[in-house]
Amino acid sequence: MLIPHPLLGLRDAQEFVYKGDARLMARPDPQADDALQAFHDYTYLRDNPAGQHRELWFHEQGDRSWLIVTRDTRTHEILKAELARPRGKGERT
Amino acid sequence: MTQVNRVDGGRLDRTKPLNFTFDNRSYQGFEGDTLASALLANGVRLMGRSFKYHRPRGVFTAGSEEPNALVSLREGARHEPNTRATVAELFDGLTAKSQNRFPSLALDLMGINDFFPSFLTAGFYYKTFMWPAAFWEKVYEPIIRKAAGLGALSMLPDPDAYDKGTLHCDLLIVGAGPAGLAAALTAGRAGARVILADEDFAMGGRLTMEAGLLSEIGNSAWLSATLDELASLPNVRLMRRSTVYGAYDHGVYGLLERNTDHLARAHADLPRQTLWRVYSKRAILCSGATERPIAFENNDRPGIMLAGALRAYANRWAVLADQTVAIFTNNDDGHKTAVDLMAKGATVAAVVDVRADAPRLADYPLYAGAQVVDTKGRLGLRSISVRLSDGSLKQIDCGALGVSGGWNPMLALSCHQRGRPTWNDDIAAFVPAGTLPVGQSVAGAANAQMTTHAALNGGAGAAVAALAELGVTAGLPDLPVAEDAPVAITPFWHVGEGKGRGWIDFQNDVTVKDVKLAHQEGFKSVEHLKRYTTLGMATDQGKLSNLGGLAVMAELSGKPIAEVGTTIFRPPYTPVPIGAFAGRHRDEDFRPTRRTPSHGWAQEQGAVFVEAGAWLRAQYFPRPGETHWRQTVDREALAVRRSVGVCDVTTLGKIDVQGKDAAAFLNLIYCNGFAKLPVGKCRYGLMLREDGIAMDDGTAARFAEGHFVVTTTTANAVGVYRHMEFVRQCLRPDLDVQLISTTDAWAQYAVAGPNARKLLQKIIDPGFDISNEGFAFMACAELTICGGIPARLFRISFSGELAYEIAVPTRYGDGLMRVLMEAGAEFDVTPYGTEALGVLRIEKGHGTANELNGQTSAAHLGMGRMVSTKKDSIGTVLSNRDGLTEADGVRLVGLESVDGADLPAGSHLFAQGAEKTAAHDQGWISSACYSPHLEKPIALGFIARGQDRMGEIIEVANPLQGGMARAKIVSPHFIDPEGERLRA
């Protein structure tokens, strides 16, 4: 697979490490009353869609960016790849 | 020695005779021959024995789809079994041997299987070897292993080199027949970057194997002019002996190039084979078509082959498989073979055509509306029996029979993603359909363009279309006048009559009867049929046999073939050696080896090394007279506690954390607090996974308000860095913090023992105070040593002694080690390796990966109170869940051997007298060593309610090694539990 890195262009998927569902970015509030249940769901429950899936890929053999890649799990078509952490204003990349 | 079947013509260099042997007999062929063509030229028809029945077999095809003529090539370590003789390029000195026969090819004792065919029908494994179950491993399997299978491995390491490479192109063209050549010409002239790959050593495809396809210019003239032009174009790469074996996502193709298989000896500069990863923007599949057989009784005798192969041997290799030949066909193409063979001087004894309205292309005995129903000839064909249209039976003598059941598009690469072929009635075959791999199109016979004219135009047109998608305008080249006879075929799969066996899959010995049996027993889906009968498996992957099996199944089910469907083609198209997938990654180059800066110094000391991840670490430093590693390790450990030792800890992961929010970030990463750590201090930190299990531990040193240096364990350096970047980028992008791995930038040494300070004071530059008061336990500082060399000093202790870790830029690592040894001579400084490091830390009760093994929580490790409840950190919430905090859960404890017996790591722990069963299992030993201080075996382990069981004697069971020992539960801090030494 080729992943269109927003900064580096098309890169082979071999350069990346796969993590999984991009909803892992939405870490629950540890102070909430239902925190235990929320963290349980966050840690263990994942959707496994046949179709578009937003997922996290780490460019380990590259610039060490975490990317959010939108991939069709049926075709491996990659519809989008974004930086998980957008560069701040004036921040050096 | 004579090439009795060689005729005039062909694409051979007759000035270059090549000598070779087959089963120890010497033969001669010419440059341009394959092993198969040279054997046929020498009158050798019998080339192998079949898989199950050990039937005599000869060559059946002229290409990579060959099911029968599998031989072993070369000798010694380069011996290669199961090689198809049809694609083995002949070279001088080639040695080949037949397989699957004993004692000889002509007299094979296992041929007895052929007399008990009912025993070996479809599913015979499942039915025959069912009971008694205990017989499977000891009796049945060894017998089957010996009887089945084909060639044998040399069992020697492969002496050849293999390489991997990457190629990029605008257009990859798979197959250099008429379609591929026309496509390459079109794209090459337009300036596109083109790769034209063909599995053959000669490009041209059927142009090399047929007579008169290009009626005006001639096959050879156009072929050589085209290849010359393509070779002259710098943007075109011609790859012969190169098989595109797989189509992967996003235009990536796997390609195996055979560099030296055709050479008499291994080439000094070339790898044997290169596995290319081809990144293509567009690809055109021009893989042509393969002929398919017709099943009839005894259709597998040597001398029976595909009609197109018979004619390819005649045209390209100037070989007549026999002087007297017959043809059995259901289509016009079979007649073409008769014409070509007659032109080469063969006697055509019969053309048997199942069609009543068969055409006649020349003056040969034609039997229209007839079928070949049986054959004779034990080790080679002698005659065929033909059922004539009037129902009578006729014997016809012939030494070769060409069979043509029509041609199948070779569409495997169109199916490697989601392509699913559909049935085309015009050519009575499956054609590419469905969603092809991204960027792929199909042209020529592979796309049902069955005539040369259609293939040339199809290839050129596909190239124009592919380039247009890339924004490149290409013109159609002038293409030569070419053969354009329409396909005329009446589908015909197997002869209905006869009690004998008609083979569908020659390689797996699957007959029409086996398919019928599978159907009768309920294995009706094509995928079940394949698994039950093994139809379509092994090296040829059903290139010849799949459709025949489907057709019989369709007939039995009363459905059209289109509805029965087809099995799925998967990579690889033809076998790829494991060595090619490994490439250079074998033996010591299996992965990169990381060496610390003082590796050379350690080698000089005679260190024994151990692999730790990719690192090589000094395990211990034996001295003359020491006869056992334990002697060495004991000496090293005692020396540290007595005076001072130095250990290379460069391999620890080091991560630089900087930014205004660095402390807040570490607060999130570690379960214990870091916000209040003063500048100039280190702290032990425990990282949890979000599920509450301990992930890694180490220290973080604060060099400035916004600057920390974090260490990780050697094994987890990569994973921890990845995790920290995840937290930084994905969870808290709002924090102002930056990370970089500096593991390779610093060499780091532990200096441990009562004299550690005295030793360091000798090398630290004046002006830096490292006295106990000025540089207390857990202090850290940036300073200089040896007259201005930058260094970092950490007062941390893994051994429990007064200890420091000192880091210098990598390039000074070797020098620092030598300086420490020189300066420490007066203290009898002792280098120690990972073994002594382990002993010291077990004695002190420090956990490592053995304790943080992915199953233990902070509470299990006895660090439950470290998990701060005053702040949020990764894993805090779930570390409080049921199951990780229960009072009767396991706790880290120390264990002392009661009677001096070893306490092996991995042993399980039981209450005294308890039955040694899983139900009574109370815990396990995670780390163990002999303690030279306590002079007895000790261990760290986890046991239920360990904190409340100090002093209890328990039993240590090690059923794997058959051992049993007794141990006393003690504090894990065997040495200096009050921590006085490390604060001294």
The verdict on A84 touching B (C-beta cutoff 8 Å) is yes
Specify the pLDDT at position B1: 47
Report chain A residues whose CB lies below 8 A from the CB of B252. Answer: 1-2, 12
Q: What is the pLDDT of residue B566?
A: 83
- CA A14 to CA A6: how far, in whole Å? 17
What confidence score (pLDDT) does residue B613 get? 87
Residues spanned by the domain of A65: 2-26+38-83
CA distance B428 to chain A (A): 30
Q: List, for residues B206-252, the tens digit of each pLDDT value.
A: 999 999 899 999 999 999 999 999 999 999 999 999 999 999 999 99
Instruction: Give the pLDDT of residue B854.
Output: 93
- Report pLDDT for B445: 97
Closest approach of B734 to chain A, Cα-based (Å): 9
pLDDT digits over B250-290, tens only?
999 999 999 999 998 877 889 999 999 999 999 999 999 99
Residue B831 bridge partners (DSSP): B646
Beta carbons of B725 and A64 less than 8 Å apart: yes
pLDDT of residue A93: 47
B319-346: pLDDT as tens digits: 999 999 999 999 999 999 999 999 999 9
Q: CA of B717 to nearest chain A CA: how many angstroms apart?
A: 13
Does residue A11 lie within any of the structural domains?
yes
Confidence (pLDDT) at B146? 58
| A53 occurs within a structural domain | yes
Interface mutation target, options B166, B168, B248, B250, chain A, most CBs of A under 10 Å:
B250
Report the pLDDT value the prediction gives residue B145, as an integer from 0 to 100. 58
Please tell me the total count of domains within chain A: 1
Q: Which of residues 4-43 of A touch B (CB under 8 A)?
A: 12-13, 17, 19, 24-25, 27-28, 30-31, 35-36, 39-40, 42-43
Using the Cβ of A69 and the Cβ atoms of chain B, whether some distance falls under 8 Å is answered with no
Nearest to A36 among B691, B872, B877 (CB): B877
CA distances to B395, B692, B714 from B670, rounded to whole Å, are 88, 12, 18
pLDDT of residue B170: 98
| pLDDT at A3 > cutoff 80 | yes
In the predicted structure, residue B474 carries a pLDDT above the cut 60: yes
Q: Which of B102-111, B485-494, B528-537 has the lowest mean pLDDT?
A: B102-111
Task: Supply the mean pLDDT for chain B.
Answer: 93
Disruptive mutation site among B416, B735, B877 for chain A (greatest number of A CBs within 10 Å): B877
Q: How many CB atoms lie within 10 A of CB B606?
A: 12
pLDDT in tens, B187-197: 999 999 999 99
Measured from the Cβ of residue A28, the count of other Cβ atoms closer than 10 Å reads: 17
A contact test, residue of B164, B281, B730 with most A CBs within 10 A:
B730
Average pLDDT over residues B915-924: 94
Q: Are B629 and B709 in contact (CB under 8 A)?
A: no
Which of B763, B756, B807 has the alpha carbon at shortest distance from B785? B763
CA distance to partner chain B, nearest, from residue A85 (Å):
5
Q: What is the 3-state secondary structure (H, E, C) of B53-77?
A: CCCEECCCCCCCCCCCCEEEECCHH
Min Cα separation A58/chain B (Å)? 8
The C-alpha of B85 sits at a distance from chain A's nearest C-alpha, in angstroms, of 36
3-state DSSP call for residue B465?
Answer: helix
The yes-or-no verdict on residue B885 having pLDDT over 90 is no
DSSP-based three-state secondary structure for B172: strand
Q: What is the ipTM of this complex?
A: 0.97
Beta bridge partners of B681: B779
The pLDDT score that the predictor gives to residue B338 is 97
B845: tokens are 């009760």
Task: Of A11-25, B139-153, B552-566, give the lowest mean pLDDT range.
Answer: B139-153
In a domain, A49, yes or no: yes
Q: Is A55 on the interface with B (CB under 8 A)?
A: no
Backbone CA torsion sign across B772, B777, B781, B787:
positive
How are beta strands B503-505 and B738-741 bridged, if at all?
A: unpaired
Residues of chain B contacting residue A77, judged by C-beta atoms under 8 Å apart:
438
The C-alpha atoms of residue B169 and residue B197 are separated, in whole angstroms, by: 12
Name the residue among A12, A19, A27 with its Cβ closest to that of B731: A27
**Residue of chain B whose Cα is closest to the Cα of A27:** B731
Tell me the C-alpha distance between B538 and B508, whole Å.
8
Q: What is the CATH number of the domain that holds A19?
A: 3.30.2270.10
Taking a C-beta distance cutoff of 8 angstroms, is the pair B697, B713 a contact?
yes
Q: Which of B132-146, B166-180, B215-229, B665-679 has the lowest mean pLDDT?
A: B132-146
| Residue in A closest to B418 by C-alpha | A75
- For the cut 80, the answer to whether the pLDDT of residue B94 exceeds it is yes
pLDDT classification of B148: cutoffs 50, 70, 90 = low
CB contact under 8 A, A56 and B726: yes
Contacts of A28 in chain B (CB under 8 A): 877
For each of the domains in chain B, give its residue range(s) and CATH number, in order of start: 162-289+409-469 (3.50.50.60), 602-651+745-840 (3.30.1360.120), 653-741 (3.30.70.1400), 887-984 (2.40.30.110)
CB pairs under 8 A between A and B: 66
Q: What is the DSSP string of A40-71?
A: HHHHH-----SSEEEEEEE-TTTT--EEEEEE
Cα radius of gyration rounded to whole Å, chain B: 37
* Contacts B880 to A, Cβ<8 Å: 36
3-state secondary structure of B237: strand
Determine the Cα–Cα distance for residues B78 and B273; give it in Å rounded to an integer.
13
Residue among A58, A61, A69 with most chain B CBs within 10 A, to mutate = A58
In this predicted model, what pLDDT tens digit does every residue of B514-553 receive, in sequence order? 999 999 999 888 888 888 888 888 778 888 888 889 999 9
What stretch of H or E contains B328? strand B324-329
Q: Could you tell me if residue A91 is inside a domain? A: no
Q: What is the mean pLDDT of residues A66-79?
A: 96
Domain contains A33: no
Q: B564-570 long-range contacts, Cβ below 8 Å, gap at least 24?
A: B564/B526, B565/B526, B566/B420, B566/B421, B566/B430, B566/B526, B567/B526, B567/B527, B567/B530, B567/B536, B567/B542, B568/B415, B568/B420, B569/B411, B569/B412, B569/B413, B569/B415, B569/B416, B569/B541, B570/B415, B570/B416
Contact B733 A84 (CB under 8 A): yes
Q: How many angstroms separate the CA atoms of B109 and A73, rounded?
A: 53
Confidence label for B102 from pLDDT (cuts 50, 70 and 90):
confident
